[in-house]
Amino acid sequence: MPRDVVWITLESVRQDHSSLGGYDRDTTPFLRSLGSRSDAASFTNCFSHDIWTRSSSASILTGLAPSAHRTWSQDDRLASDVPTVAEAFREEGYRTACISPNPQLSDVTGLARGFDHFHYLGKENLIEEMGIPTMIRYLTGLRRYSAGYTTDTRKHSIGYLNEALSKRHVRAAAEEGTPLFLYVHLGDSHHPYYPPLPYQDAFAGGFDMSLDEALETSMDMSEHLYEHMARGLPFADDEWRAIRAMYDAEILNVDQTTRRIVEYAESRLDDPIVVVTSDHGELLGESGLLAHMISVEDAVSHVPMVVSGVPGLSGTRDDIVQHADAMQTALAAAGVDFDLPVGYDLCKSDREFAVTQRSGARAQGKFGKLAESGPQFDASAYHSDDVTSVRTPEFRYTRSTDGDELFAIPDEEEDVSEDRSDVRDELAETCELWLESYGLPYSEQRERAEFDDSMSDHLADLGYI
């Protein structure tokens, strides 16, 4: 019998700022409680396939490595001959629905393919997507659901709208008696970190400045992202505390949106499979960087993940896993046949290492913006070309045409290649074999993502362009 699958991706949430990562703030109480159920597994060592939304989402929805699906630079969209998970669910008679507030996950990037119901929540189409009654409820409740009555759209949260659409598809599937594949991308935890009013003071005890000053500091960090990095991140200690508190409050916000979606789905659907994870982490000063760019270190690749409702999968697991593994497991439990090349069924196989990649073309664009923002930024300290990084429980090996390096976890600053040449050689061979097996382009087609003015403005607000 087909199983409903509800997959929720939280934007930019790093593992060590979640309740699953031993953090001193309970930022994800629902995710913690979900992972503690007898029919759920909480994964403490999940690593993303890439470090930004478009490419990471493409790997989740195709099971291909970034260098194979090649949807990993600002100009690339998923080629039309690359099969997707959503297409496989649709072929099995599923109602397929996706909700995304991020242009990186949209029809423009090719990632809407296979979803019969795809909702991109942009500023220009909210009424069309949501309908007037839902928009009236949202607008009259802005002090509850968002930042209150401000015309600065960067400050607004739309988790309420994600939730409303999710419930709409859950109801429809239940009424139709049709199995559901629901993919929800919750974007409110992306910078700028400006939580809804009820969450703004959630961690206000962590800084000395006023709440208004903390919010201004968080907005300034996002608005002048590249200038701050180019100048060496000149934040005072209390400014850092304020930024982290606002980021953590946004994580709590998306965790509670997740709770409401999952609880509603479980009340209407018959024992759905639920996956909750993050597309990538977030840099908060590590390696002199902010947001999610250039580096592949743990801060931006180590993410939380919980899988619920899969028979035989339970407890807290510290083995290394990746997103494609969770998708392969959900597909198998749902009885949907689809091959994810870099995915393992978590009920049957263990992986020895995770691989995170990032595009050199996208990194070069970031270096260019940093150079425009100030001469102090030293781009030579970072890999300039395509990067492939192999992460084991003890080490991270990273390579590009610029060279390679080896770090002994948790330290990711000192290259230990000379002292541990045996490990370096072994992981270099592992990396080469993996690239030969999984890293080559799947398709010969190259398709270009072309955003309209509204989407481009949205991407600019998010710091992508």
Confidence of residue 350 (pLDDT cuts 50, 70, 90): confident
In eight-state DSSP terms, residue 414 is: S
Helices (H), 269-359: 298-301, 323-334
Q: How far apart are CA 44 and CA 319, in angstroms?
A: 8
Q: How far apart are CA 229 and CA 268, in angstroms?
A: 47
- According to the model, what pLDDT value does residue 465 have? 64
pLDDT value at 463 more than 80: no
pTM above 0.85, yes or no: yes
**Mean local confidence (pLDDT), 151-175:** 96
pLDDT value at 453 more than 90: no
Which pairing describes strands 315-317 and 283-284: parallel, antiparallel, or unpaired?
Answer: unpaired
**Helix, strand, coil share (%) of the chain residues, nearest 5:** 40, 15, 40
- According to the model, what pLDDT value does residue 459 have? 74
**Mean local confidence (pLDDT), 10-36:** 96
pLDDT tens profile 384-417: 999 999 999 999 999 999 999 999 999 999 999 9
Confidence of residue 123 (pLDDT cuts 50, 70, 90): confident
pLDDT tens profile 218-246: 999 999 999 999 999 999 999 999 999 99
pLDDT tens profile 125-139: 999 999 999 999 999
pLDDT value at 110 more than 80: yes
Share of the chain above pLDDT 90, in %: 93
Collapsed DSSP state (helix, strand, coil) of residue 398: strand
Q: How far apart are CA 335 and CA 398, in angstroms?
A: 36
**Mean local confidence (pLDDT), 275-303:** 97
Distances (CA, A) of 208 to 205, 217, 238, 428: 8, 13, 7, 47
pLDDT tens profile 354-377: 999 999 999 999 999 999 998 889
Collapsed DSSP state (helix, strand, coil) of residue 211: helix
pLDDT value at 458 more than 90: no
pLDDT value at 194 more than 70: yes
**Mean local confidence (pLDDT), 253-281:** 98
pLDDT value at 333 more than 70: yes
What is the full DSSP assignment across 238-274? HHHHHHHHHHHHHHHHHHHHHHHHHHHHHHHSSS-EE
